Chains A and B, each alone.
Chain A
Amino acid sequence: MIIKMIISIIAYLILAPFVGGILAGLDRKVSARMQGRVGPSILQPFYDVLKLFEKEPITVTKVQDFYVMIFVIFVIASGVIFFAGGDLLLVIFVLTVASAFLIIAAYSSNSPYAQVGAERELLQMMAYEPMVLMTCIGFYMYCGSFAVRDIIVGTSMPFLPLIGIFIGFLFILTIKFRKSPFDLSMSHHAHQELVKGLTTEFSGKTLGLIEISHWYENVMLLGFVFLFFANGTVWGAIIGVLVCIVTYFFEVLIDNSFARMKWQFAFKSAWIVALVFGVINIFVLYLIV
């Protein structure tokens, strides 16, 4: 049991950046094809990050690198807890702490662009947190445990009983993946009204670390999607992985077909979706379980 846990932690630590990076590369390639372009190589995100590590380090305030480092560690830690089969609540709280440190890092630079980006990131967190919590509650009500290791061996797929929560989770996944229409605080596209928002003042290695932790985070979030289909069998696992791929493709499609929205829309729509799909689903679960 312990050995299995250690193996999955090590596999996560080593494989997640590769999987996340290749997903990001596929994202850019598929986006380019959707826009009628050729697009960069699939390995482009790796080139970008390796290049960032080669650049001259420039820091506005020394403390910002420290905060970013804590952000990276906490993002990785939340993934480690998840893949070690730990508590879902702990996973999302650690992830929230990580985001909080990124926001503090952006604030500490004293740049107006970074600060507006940080404010928007705070609003985004307020928008998605209720739905993330409800996802955990839904899993708990259906599977009787918050622990990933119990959920993953459950006898039936939580997907159908949790379908409302799944829809809600997909919705906030757009915010977490930083995709249009909700890429308010920072984006990989050329929106420039905030320069680069949250990451305006980070350059070189620091920016590279943020990018890598984004990959870790993406893999962990796709792990959540996978949980909806896990039933302890190989077929459940295959369906789970396939749905993860489809979900990612769907997010890229959404990304390419929407413009950036205002934060008011992001906030309202995320809460409405959480209330409608999340709460109704939990109520129905309460009645049937």
Chain B
Amino acid sequence: MSYIAKSPWVIHYDGSSCNGCDIEVLACLTPMYDVERFGIINTGNPKHADVFLVTGSVNEQNKEVVKQIYEQMPEPKVVVAVGICACSGGVFKQCYNILGGVDTVIPVDVYVPGCAARPEAIIDGVVKGLAVLQEKRDNMVKGIDAPAEEPEAAAEEEKTEEGGEN
């Protein structure tokens, strides 16, 4: 029995998001959605975190930051890309300074599309991430190294009338 899925602590990083998704991430903590029900805590510390929530696309300036936060997190860890910008670059994709989605820098496990991603979708994404977390933990116990990154695109479609421009 592993407890990793029962107490996922989250760290949230804003790449170059417009703040829409950030507000929705924080909305998950409010009494309305209350993610602490699942034992999810928003830590500000990568060393305590299990789930890395990234909002917004990655640009030339913050790619090192994203990499560093990722590397500071102890295994097993999961990356959840929140919002269409974090998934693919979104409307900013063609900007000269934008590298694209988060997966251009670090391996992403769960994609949560939407502009902005709804709190329900974010919670759903994190809960999906827990299954990945559990799997990584099992691999860790068995002594298998992190599986050759083949992110299970567990993108749960949040009716994307608004997310489909680019």
State the A residues within 8 Å of B (CB): 28, 32, 35-41, 44, 47-48, 50-51, 54-58, 190, 192, 195-196, 199-204, 207
**CA separation between A38 and B47, bound complex, in Å?**
27
CB distance from B49 to the nearest CB of A (A): 9
- When A51-B3, A51-B7, A55-B75 are in contact, do A32 and B45 touch as well, CB less than 8 Å? no
Q: How far is the CB of A118 from chain B (nearest CB, A)?
A: 15
Residues of A within 8 A of B151 (CB): none
Residue in B7, B34, B74, B137 whose beta carbon sits within 8 Å of that of A38 in the complex: B34
- Residues on B with beta carbons closer than 8 Å to the beta carbon of A54: 2-4, 137
Residues in B whose Cβ lies below 8 Å from that of A207: 48
B residues 23-40 with Cβ under 8 Å of A? 29, 31, 34, 36-39
Q: How far is the CA of A153 from the CA of B162 in the complex (A)?
A: 72
**Could you name 19 residue pairs across A and B whose Cβ atoms are closer than 8 Å?**
A28-B36, A32-B34, A37-B34, A37-B37, A39-B34, A47-B3, A47-B7, A48-B7, A48-B39, A50-B7, A51-B6, A55-B75, A57-B74, A195-B44, A196-B43, A196-B44, A199-B48, A201-B47, A203-B74
- Interface residues, chain B, CB within 8 Å of chain A? 2-4, 6-7, 9, 29, 31, 34, 36-39, 41-45, 47-48, 50, 72, 74-76, 137, 140
Per the bound structure, the CA–CA distance linking A56 and B44 in Å amounts to 19
What chain A residues lie within 8 Å of B42 (beta carbons)?
190
> Are A196 and B45 in touch, CB under 8 angstroms?
yes
Do A35 and B31 have beta carbons less than 8 Å apart?
yes
- For residue B15, give the distance in angstroms from its CB to the closest CB of chain A: 18
- Determine how close the nearest CB of chain B comes to the CB of A198; give it in whole angstroms: 11
Collect the chain A residues with CB atoms within 8 Å of residue B43's CB: 190, 196
- Of all chain B residues, the one with the shortest Cβ separation from A191 is B44
Whether B31 lies near A37 (C-beta < 8 A) is yes
> Is A55 touching B45 in the complex (CB atoms < 8 A)?
no
Summed over the interface, the residue pairs from A and B with CB atoms below 8 Å come to a total of 75
A12 to B36, CA, bound (A): 30
Tell me whether A56 and B36 are in contact (CB under 8 A): no
Q: Shortest distance in angstroms between A214's beta carbon and chain B's nearest beta carbon?
A: 15
By a CB distance below 8 angstroms, the chain B residues around A37 are: 31, 34, 36-37
User: What is the minimal beta-carbon distance from B59 to any residue of chain A, in angstroms?
Assistant: 23
Residues of A within 8 A of B37 (CB): 37-40
CB pair A200–B140 under 8 Å, yes or no, is: no
In Å, the complex CA distance between A44 and B39 comes to 7
Among candidates B7, B44, B47, B137, residue contacting A203 with C-beta atoms closer than 8 Å = B47
Q: Which residues of B contact A44 (CB under 8 A)?
A: 6-7, 39
Interface centre among B4, B34, B36, B72 (most CB of A within 10 A): B36
Interchain CA distance A124-B44 in the complex, whole Å: 23
Q: How far apart are A122's CB and chain B's nearest CB, in angstroms?
A: 21
Q: A28-B36, A40-B36 are in contact. Are A56 and B31 (CB under 8 A)?
A: no
**Within the assembled complex, what's the spacing in Å between the Cα atoms of A200 and B140?**
24
Q: Which residues of A contact B44 (CB under 8 A)?
A: 190, 192, 195-196
**Which residues of A sit under 8 angstroms from B2, Cβ to Cβ?**
54
Bound Cα distance from A54 to B50, whole angstroms = 11
Report B-chain residues with C-beta under 8 Å of the C-beta of A203. Answer: 47-48, 74
The residue on A at minimum CB distance from B72 is A58
Q: Which residue of B lies closest to A190 (CB)?
A: B42
